[in-house]
Amino acid sequence: MHNRTRMVVASFLVKDLHLEWQHGAKFFEEHLVDFDVASNAHGWQWTAGTGTDASPYYRVFNPIEQGKKFDGAGTYIRKYVPEIAHLSDKEIHEPWLYLDGYLNNYPERIVDHAIERVESLERLKEIKIELLPHPNS
């Protein structure tokens, strides 16, 4: 799996689905052929914004925009999601906008990235406030 894809997957799991990074790290450990303990843990912590030299907590990868920017023709999607391979380059990254009621064999998206991004930032902001020293204490 390409590093860019790993970062997008990690961001989606942690910041869109609000799951602990350890779940994704464990999955990668079990399934990646080039698994490396240190790189895996660091990569997940970086994306989650919790490790040393971490990505800022407010950095949330937009999977749609990442796909458009790094795979505009949708080659990756066409290979691994054949149900929508027939869509145009413009449609392939946001099929829910173009498929009338979706396809019978293609599920609806499980989250709306824009909504989950806001939720993620709110949760992380609350954690940051809890961890900072309070004035007058």
Domain count, the chain: 2
pTM: 0.82
Considering the domain architecture, whether residues 85 and 115 belong to the same structural domain is answered as yes
pLDDT the model gives residue 99: 73
Q: Is residue 21 part of a domain?
A: yes
- What is the pLDDT tens value at each position of the chain, 137 positions in all? 888 999 999 999 999 999 999 999 999 999 999 999 999 999 999 888 887 776 776 788 999 999 999 999 999 999 999 989 999 999 999 998 887 755 667 788 899 999 999 999 898 888 877 877 777 76
For residue 53, tell me if it sits in a domain. Answer: no
pLDDT for residue 111 = 95
pLDDT given for residue 124 in this prediction: 82
| DSSP code for 88 | -
Q: Which amino acid is at 79?
A: K
Q: Which two tokens stand for residue 125?
A: 């902001």
Residue 106 lies in domain: 63-131
Instruction: Look at residue 75 in the predicted model and tell me its pLDDT.
Output: 97
Is residue 40 within 8 A of residue 30, CB to CB? The reply is no
Torsion sign over Cα 76, 79, 81, 82: positive
Whole-number pLDDT of residue 93:
95
**pLDDT at residue 103, as a whole number:** 64
Residues 72, 122 within the same domain: yes
Same structural domain for residues 68 and 109?
Answer: yes
* Chain Cα centroid distance, residue 134: 32
Both structure tokens of 82 = 């054949």
**Are 27 and 78 in the same domain?**
no
d(CA 65, CA 70): 8
My answer on whether 88 and 31 are in the same domain is: no
Closest CA to 98 of 81, 86, 112: 86
Do 76 and 127 have their domain in common? yes
Residue 108: which CATH number? 1.10.579.10
